[in-house]
A and B are shown apart, each in its own frame.
Chain A
Amino acid sequence: MSSYAHHTTGEPVADTKAPQGPIAERWDRRRFEAKLVNPANRRKHTVIVVGTGLAGGSAGATLAEQGYRVVQFCFSDSPRRAHSIAAQGGINAAKNYRNDGDSVHRLFYDTVKGGDFRARESNVHRLAQISVEIIDQCVAQGVPFAREYGGLLDTRSFGGVQVSRTFYARGQTGQQLLLGAYQALSRQIAAGNVEMHARTEMLDLIVVDGVARGIVARDLITGEISTHYADAVVLASGGYGNVFYLSTNAMNSNATAVWRAHRRGAYFANPCFTQIHPTCIPRTGDHQSKLTLMSESLRNDGRIWVPKAKGDTRPAADIPEAERDYYLERIYPSFGNLVPRDIASRAAKNVCDEGRGVGPGGQGVYLDFADAIRRMGRDKVAEKYGNLFDMYERITAENPYEVPMRIYPAVHYTMGGLWVDYDLQTTVPGLFAIGEANFSDHGANRLGASALMQGLADGYFVLPSTINDYLARHPHQDAVDDTHPEAAAAVREVRDCLAKLLSVDGDRTPDSFHREIGELMWEYCGMSRTEEGLRKALARIPEIREEFWHRIKVPGSGEEFNQSLEKANRIVDYLELAELMCLDALHRAESCGGHFREESQTPDGEAARRDEEFAYAAAWEYQGTGAAPVLHKEDLVFDYVHPTQRSYA
């Protein structure tokens, strides 16, 4: 019996594309079984790619290299600004250059376990296999990874693993990988193979006869609404962490593309699986517009601690060693400071809830480099983490070489997203989702340095192979244009929504609503969740939505550069998505990974999964604003990694 009274459960959803057989052979088998498009015919196929981050940039470049006609969109002024650029720490790959026992199977195992057994085995294994090719590809493009004196690539360790498999470019790995993809994409733009639309935002999906055939987009400079048609549509529009208002996401990252695709029939899977990153700079006040991450790589050398005594307000330097609690090293001796993110975040919350937090409001813990500086010297620490230390000092006006950093968990990544099969196709034929936009390979918790791996695996290698099969089987003959009733309806709905936002002329700004829904979500659907809290949130969200449509104030018009209108239009989607996240969190009456239900914990306070009832991915089907969606379950089968209680002790 489900605990939520109002949603209904429909037919199970199954991944019909993953081949059977030994897991290590499935990707080869799928690539062989997939139909191909003759190189001479590829230029007759148009593929729309929405987004230019690691997934979208690499997919657009690769599809164009293969000969497809690509039409690509980003809301920024340049494809180089996608938020993948902010990823700091690194990218995992099972190269085993360290000879430390790593292998494809170990990366696969670590990822399934790190995700708390809520990911699909065949996808994760493929990801681990492809990881090694990604490093080769990026090096060939000129990505300046860190190197040893012998000229070979350097690696470091990340949370939840005991090998050193993370490749990095100082604290700017995402930037360097993204610029690699951006440069490959630029080459294709110059060659005329990619038609790039910058400062253009997708506002709806055009579905004709049940098949994705195009999008409705808005030129953010002129406000012009345009339609674009294609043989397939790929969403690479990122995650939805900004529903929380304060997160490490960029200010303009948003859920509009995926949510509007969901409204057009694409199932949304595991929306409640949110990653709260343990090492972010604590907030300083109500003016805060976003939170800044401090890379997980810092946990290689930084030690996390709080005072043993409650309410100890002495400066860190005055607290003697014996009165400090290095709580991660104490509770999890084998992984120490490098436990997975969900565990590190909850542990930080627990010590702060006990009244042992540090800094203003007691919402912080120390990340201390004093030992590392003693051991390696200040110069070596600066070489490894210099830019992160500088960024910390700029924001907080404190020098982390002298005093420990203060950190606190913040929303960082969303494991949930559009449901996709092994081919990365959604439940709408012809609509694909890649990177953070899909519900992906991370289960209920993503390991550090795995987002870059997955984004590039999807974009460079998976999608360009699997989309061939779809295009070969659906050689569209009928052109669609604006006169088609389903296209016209999509355009009309987009125009109506924008007109309505401009016409309310109320007394509240878009930001005030964003902040309100964000605070509600952080309170009730954040680091720890209860049935009571989630029910409160579910009661409150429709009220906020109602108030939004009566009190929103958007100045200006729709026929100009209007950032308030862009923002308000994105909040419309957050106000629906938030409700689905809470419903998903409520129905999943177990704890797993980043989803912690207080009712379901072990005697030690760790997440207690309930595999008999919840070993499935929850794929939700839209039924209308405020109407309870239909749940479709995809049962997860574990043939290779036996689900156990995760132990990092």
Chain B
Amino acid sequence: MKLTLRVWRQRGADAPGHMASYEVDGISEDMSFLEMLDTLNEDLILRGEDPVAFDHDCREGICGACSLVINGDAHGPERTTTCQLHMRSFDDGDTIDVEPWRAAAFPVVKDLVVDRGAFDRIIQAGGYITAPTGSAPEAHATAVPKADADFAFEHAECIGCGACVAACPNGSAMLFTSAKVNHLGVLPQGSPERETRVLDMVARMDEEGFGGCTLTGECATACPKGIPLPSIAAMNKEWLRAVRKGPR
């Protein structure tokens, strides 16, 4: 396959950016999208040009590092991570636009790399269960109904990639935040901190500059792990419940 890539280039956080065009040839449909970018970068290095910076690590769809907007879609045309997108999803001769996540809360570091530290700070605000090492009771001391365990797992699958924010016209992090709130809130182990968790995480989310949610649903459509849209409604319910319970 022969392709034309139009790639966002930006030297640093404060530098101006632009779309640059590159031709790549000899692309196999078995290549992953990132392997196609590897091919471009090998050429750029040999030509003495600056290769395109992009985040990637496990390349098996679980670490959440890769983060490209491809032809306007977070992670591209398939519902998966960028690293699991293969070139068989494209046609010979295509022109493909490649951009970083675009959101006020995710400033560009370089080219296609953004800073997602805001996600870490939302977790730090309360996305945990306080259980210092050594303090745990026997694992079978508390049974967890299978339906609750499955619900927790479904939300715990979030990989923190940020596609939900990139896809949202408001740059909202509601899906990310709700996934953790719901994972921990449904478990008996997580119930003592159920109210403080949702209040603190939502407050932090707002402080980080993420937009509000208007239920467009783009987040859940882009999510490579299928975190469901009702997750947001469940978090809103949790938040209201916590607020109504009164001062902490």
Q: CB distance B53 to A563 under 8 Å?
A: yes
**B218: interface (CB < 8 Å):** no
Which residues of B23-56 have CB atoms within 8 Å of chain A's CB atoms? 28, 30-32, 34-35, 38-39, 42, 44-46, 48-51, 53, 55-56
State the interface size on chain B (CB cutoff 8 A): 77
Contact with B along A18-31 (1 / 0, CB 8 A): 00000000000000
What sequence of 0s and 1s flags, for each residue 512-544 of chain A, a beta carbon within 8 Å of any chain B beta carbon?
100000000000000000000000000000000
A148 touches B146 (CB 8 A): yes
Interchain CB contact (< 8 A) of B46 among A80, A182, A553: A553
- Which of A95, A140, A556 gathers the greatest number of chain B CB atoms within 10 Å? A140
Q: A187 contacts which chain B residues (CB < 8 A)?
A: 124, 128, 130
Please tell me if the beta carbons of A141 and B48 are within 8 angstroms of each other in the complex: no
Q: Does A190 contact B (CB under 8 A)?
A: yes
Cβ contact of A186, chosen from B80, B115, B120, B138, cutoff 8 A: B120
User: Residues 560-603 of chain A: 1 if any B CB is under 8 Å from the residue's CB, otherwise 0?
Assistant: 11011000000000000000000000000000000000000000
Q: How far is the CA of A290 from the CA of B143 in the complex (A)?
A: 40
Contacts of B64-99 to chain A: CB distance below 8 A: 64-65, 78, 80, 84, 86, 88
Please, which residues of chain A bring their CB within 8 A of the CB of B234?
Answer: none
Query: What's the Cα separation between A569 and B211 when bound, in Å?
Result: 40
Check B212 for interface membership: any CB of A closer than 8 A: no
Name A290's contact: one of B59, B120, B136 (CB within 8 Å): B59
CB atoms of B123 and A183 under 8 A apart:
yes
Tell whether, in the assembled complex, residue B46 and residue A251 are in contact, meaning their CB atoms are under 8 Å apart.
no
Residues 109-152 of B contacting A (Cβ, < 8 Å):
109-110, 113, 115-117, 119-120, 123-125, 127-140, 142-146, 149, 152
Judged by a CB distance under 8 angstroms, whether A65 is at the interface is yes
Q: B208 in the interface, Cβ–Cβ < 8 Å?
A: no
Q: What are the residues of chain B within 8 A of A179 when measuring CB–CB? A: 156
**Closest chain B residue, CB of each to CB of A95:** B139
CB–CB A86/B58 < 8 A = yes
What CA separation (Å) do A307 and B51 show in the bound complex? 46
Q: Which of A58, A391, A461, A561 has the most CB of B within 10 A?
A: A561
B57 near A250 (CB under 8 angstroms)?
A: yes
- Evaluate contact between B38 and A289: CB separation under 8 angstroms: yes
| Minimal Cβ-Cβ distance residue in B for A281 | B60
Residues of the B chain whose Cβ atoms lie less than 8 Å from the Cβ of A78:
116-117, 119-120, 160
Does B20 lie at the interface of the complex (its beta carbon under 8 Å from any beta carbon of A)?
no
Cα A394 to Cα B12 in complex, Å, equals 34
Asked if A39 CB lies within 8 Å of chain B CBs, one says: no
The answer to the question of B199 belonging to the interface, with a C-beta cut-off of 8 Å to chain A, is no
The residues of B that contact A137 with a CB separation of less than 8 Å are 131, 133-134, 136
B129 touches A142 (CB 8 A): yes
Q: A residues within 8 A CB of B189? A: 139-142
How far does the alpha carbon of A136 sit from the alpha carbon of B140 in the complex, in Å? 8
Q: Quick check: A79 and B46 within 8 Å, CB to CB?
A: no
Asked if B35 and A289 make an inter-chain contact with CB atoms under 8 angstroms apart, the answer reads yes
In the bound complex, do residue A464 and residue B61 qualify as a contact, i.e. CB atoms below 8 Å apart? no
Q: Which residue of B lies closest to A170 (CB)?
A: B153
Partner of A152, one of B48, B51, B120, B140: B140
Contact indicator A169/B133 (Cβ below 8 Å): no
Contact A151 B144 (CB under 8 A): yes
Q: Which of A233-253 contact B (CB under 8 A)?
A: 250-252
Interface band, chain A = 35 or more
CB distance from B15 to the nearest CB of A (A): 11
| Contact across chains for A153 and B139 when beta carbons are under 8 A apart | yes
Whether, in the assembled complex, A315 has its beta carbon less than 8 Å from a beta carbon of chain B, the answer is no
Is residue B62 contacting chain A, with contact meaning CB distance below 8 A? yes
Question: A175 interface residue, CB < 8 Å from B?
Answer: yes
Name A509's contact: one of B30, B42, B113 (CB within 8 Å). B42
List the A side residues contacting B190 at CB < 8 Å.
142
Collect the chain A residues with CB atoms within 8 Å of residue B38's CB: 287, 289, 511
Contact: B115 with A77, CB < 8 Å? yes
Task: Name which of B49, B116, B153 has the most chain A CB atoms within 10 A of its CB.
Answer: B153
Q: Does B5 contact A (CB under 8 A)?
A: no
- With CB as the reference atom, state the residue of chain A lying closest to B110: A561
Q: For the complex, give the distance between the alpha carbons of A507 and B47 in Å.
A: 9
Q: A77-B117, A153-B140, A555-B49 are in contact. Are A142 and B63 (CB under 8 A)?
A: no
Please give the distance in Å from A337's CB to the nearest CB on chain B.
23
Chain B facing A: main interface SS: loop
Any B CB within 8 A of the CB of A288:
yes
Say if the beta carbon of A366 comes within 8 Å of chain B: no
Write the nearest CB–CB distance from A645 to chain B, whole angstroms. 36
Please state if A561 and B53 are interface contacts (CB–CB under 8 Å): yes
**Hey, which chain B residues are within 8 Å of A153, CB to CB?**
139-140
Please indicate the chain A residues that have their CB under 8 angstroms from the CB of B64 in the complex.
80-81
Quick check: is B9 within 8 A (CB to CB) of the other chain? no
How far is the CB of B198 from the nearest CB of chain A, in Å? 15
Separation in Å of the B226 CB from the closest CB of chain A?
10
Are A81 and B65 touching (Cβ within 8 A)?
yes
Per the 8 Å Cβ criterion, residues 128-172 of A in contact with B are 133, 135-142, 144-153, 169-170, 172
Name the B residues within 8 Å of A284 (CB-CB): 28, 30
CA distance A189 to B110 in the complex (A): 26
Whether a CB of chain A sits under 8 angstroms from the CB of B175 is: no
- A464 to B60: give the CA distance in the assembly, Å: 32
In the complex, what residues of B have CB within 8 A of residue A184's CB? 128, 131, 133
Residues of A within 8 A of B127 (CB): 183, 186
Contacts of B139 in A (CB 8 A): 95, 135-136, 138-139, 153
Complex: A86 Cα to B84 Cα, angstroms: 14
Judge whether A190 and B62 touch: CB under 8 Å.
no
B242: which A residues are within 8 A, CB to CB?
none
Chain A residues in 8 Å Cβ range of B166 = none
Q: Is the CB of A144 within 8 A of B156?
A: yes
Contacts of B119 in A (CB 8 A): 78
- The distance from the CB of B127 to the nearest CB of chain A, in whole angstroms, is 6
Chain A contacts of B184 at CB under 8 A? Answer: 142
Give the complex CA separation of A251 and B142 in angstroms: 40
Q: A137 → chain B, closest Cβ, in Å? A: 5
- Nearest residue (CB) in A for B138 is A136
- Closest A residue to B80 using CB positions: A394
Query: Residues of A contacting B45 with CB < 8 Å?
Result: 509-510, 553, 555, 564
Task: Find B56's partner among A142, A251, A391, A507 (CB 8 Å cutoff).
Answer: A251
Bound Cα distance A81, B61 (Å) = 11
Chain B: which residue is nearest A360 at the CB level?
A: B30
Q: Is the CB of A287 within 8 A of B39?
A: yes
* Cross-chain pairs A/B with CB under 8 angstroms, 19 sampled: A65-B133, A86-B60, A133-B136, A141-B129, A142-B184, A144-B187, A151-B149, A179-B156, A183-B127, A184-B131, A186-B128, A284-B28, A289-B32, A293-B60, A556-B50, A561-B109, A561-B110, A561-B113, A563-B53
8 smallest beta-carbon distances between A and B, as pairs: A151-B143, A140-B136, A183-B128, A190-B124, A140-B131, A144-B153, A136-B136, A144-B152
> Contacts A97-B140, A142-B128, A394-B61 given; 14 further ones with Cβ under 8 A?
A77-B117, A80-B64, A80-B160, A81-B65, A139-B142, A139-B189, A142-B131, A151-B149, A184-B131, A198-B120, A251-B59, A464-B133, A553-B46, A555-B44
